[in-house]
Amino acid sequence: MENHSSLSRRTILRRSAAIPAASIALGTAAHAQSSSGLPPAVPESMRTPGGPFLNPPYGLPSEFEKGVVRVLPAGNNPFPTGSRTPLQSLHGIITPNGLFFERHHAGVPKINPDHHRLMVHGMVKRPLILSMEDLMRFPSVSKIHFLECSGNSSSQYTGPSGKTAQEIHGLLSCVEWTGVKLSTILAEVGVDPKAKWILAEGTDAAAMTRSIPMNLAMGDAMLAYAQNGEKLRPEQGYPLRLFLPGIEGNMSIKWLRRLKIGDKPFYTREETSKYTDLQPDGSSFEFTFLMDVKSVILTPSGGQKITKGFHEITGVAWTGYGRVKAVDISTDGGKTWRQSVLQEPVLSKALTRFRFPWQWDGNPVIIQSRAIDEAGNVQPIRKKIIDKRGTNQIYHYNAIQSWKISETGEVTNVHA
């Protein structure tokens, strides 16, 4: 393995420049077409004025991108649990708000922000009920962070089911969050020094509730009211959600209405019947919050078809432990690994985009990415996870994703 020290922007530029121009396999037509020296025909769009301003006032993607949408999981589940982000169609690290994955426990409530209140009570000196206007007067903070459902990629505990990155890993998004640090509000109410846990409750019909340990609450937890500059989307908890960077998604309670400060966990339905990790011996781990180091190659990825020649292998890596330190790439099914280039800036608990120049010679191969984080965690192979946890568990699957490329260039999801 190469040295995993972080790479400067200068290094990225040098590496890109180092790819011989001739090695980039353009269709030969590209050069041939221009041999006459004449420009292509002037298109109709240059002869007729185009569409007007504010069409619509809140803009939308091109009609040619109508296939780039969130989807439900494959199959005919009458009670779908989440819609998924089309990771394989995205670029960079930011997820546009319209494509942020969904996970609800009783649908999306419609909440008028003028009527919404957050109550903070329990083991505190000064219980509080805050309107949104009250909350937005507090000092605020903005941070780019990923959010991942702990059930993301769970289908891979068993068969290699799911075809595309979206179907397999799409319960994952990354935006710039803005809100008030939870610690600011806890200072305002005056928390009893003996308090150790906080119950967070949503305004949905599931009354979704989780117990948050005080150390998470006093860290980088925030009461978020905006994503990518604008107010939260309804399906992301409008007008207010808890947001816990690096922690499994269900803890970041949406449509937040209540924080009760206590001295022990509250053992709500969603931390007893669910969101515990069933082990091979029948016991369960509870309160397994932190999201492990993980990565996935998005180009090329499942469902795509590639041709011989140059490709930039690219994808995203992330970890709840802080910064991604390196992402290694194998193009021989894990026998050898080479380091990719990470797009700067590499932000803590955010998606990190990696890039790796590659020539495909047309022979069948298996490509893989392996992320390493600044805490020293290394993304494991699938066998290591299954040997340890068995296949009863459905949460926190973070094994290396293998994509097989066939002789004809078809990319499929395999275990390797």
Which residues share a beta bridge with 322? none
Query: Comparing C-alpha atoms, which of 15, 6, 18, 19 is closest to residue 344?
Result: 6
Q: Tell the smallest beta-carbon distance from residue 8 to its own copies (Å).
A: 13
32: which 2 tokens?
Answer: 């041939």
Q: Which is nearer to its own copies, 111 or 411 (CB)?
A: 111
Q: Which is nearer to its own copies, 192 or 277 (CB)?
A: 192
Q: Are the C-beta atoms of residues 143 and 177 closer than 8 Å to each other?
A: yes
Q: Which is nearer to its own copies, 31 or 194 (CB)?
A: 31
Q: Which is nearer to its own copies, 180 or 326 (CB)?
A: 180
Q: Tell the smallest beta-carbon distance from residue 209 to its own copies (Å).
A: 11
Q: Which is nearer to its own copies, 278 or 365 (CB)?
A: 365
From CA 273, how far away is CA 105, in angstroms rounded?
13
Q: Tell the smallest beta-carbon distance from residue 119 to its own copies (Å).
A: 6
Q: Which residues of 359-382 are buried (b: 16+ CB within 10 A; e: fewer)?
A: ebeeeebbbbbbbbbbeebbbbbb
Q: Is 65 helix (H, G, I), strand (E, B) or coil?
A: helix
Q: Tell the smallest beta-carbon distance from residue 226 to its own copies (Å).
A: 4
* 104: DSSP letter: -
| Three-state SS sequence of 237-304 | CCCCEEECCCECHHHCCCCEEEEEEECCCCCCHHHCCCCCEECCCCCEECCCCECCCEEEEEECCCCC
Q: Are the C-beta atoms of residues 292 and 317 closer than 8 Å to each other?
A: no
Q: Tell the smallest beta-carbon distance from residue 188 to its own copies (Å).
A: 5
Q: Are the C-beta atoms of residues 177 and 226 closer than 8 Å to each other?
A: yes
Q: Tell the smallest beta-carbon distance from residue 198 to its own copies (Å).
A: 15
Q: Which is nearer to its own copies, 162 or 357 (CB)?
A: 357
Q: Which is nearer to its own copies, 153 or 203 (CB)?
A: 203
Q: How many CB atoms are located within 10 Å of the residue 389 CB? A: 18
Q: Tell the smallest beta-carbon distance from residue 142 to its own copies (Å).
A: 3
Q: Tell the smallest beta-carbon distance from residue 388 to its own copies (Å).
A: 33
Distances (CA, A) of 413 to 68, 309, 351, 416: 20, 22, 22, 10
Q: Which residues contact 192 (CB under 8 A, 6 or more apart)?
A: 123, 124, 125, 261
Burial group, residue 262, by CB count within 10 angstroms (0-12, 13-18, 19+): middle
Q: Which is nearer to its own copies, 117 or 274 (CB)?
A: 117
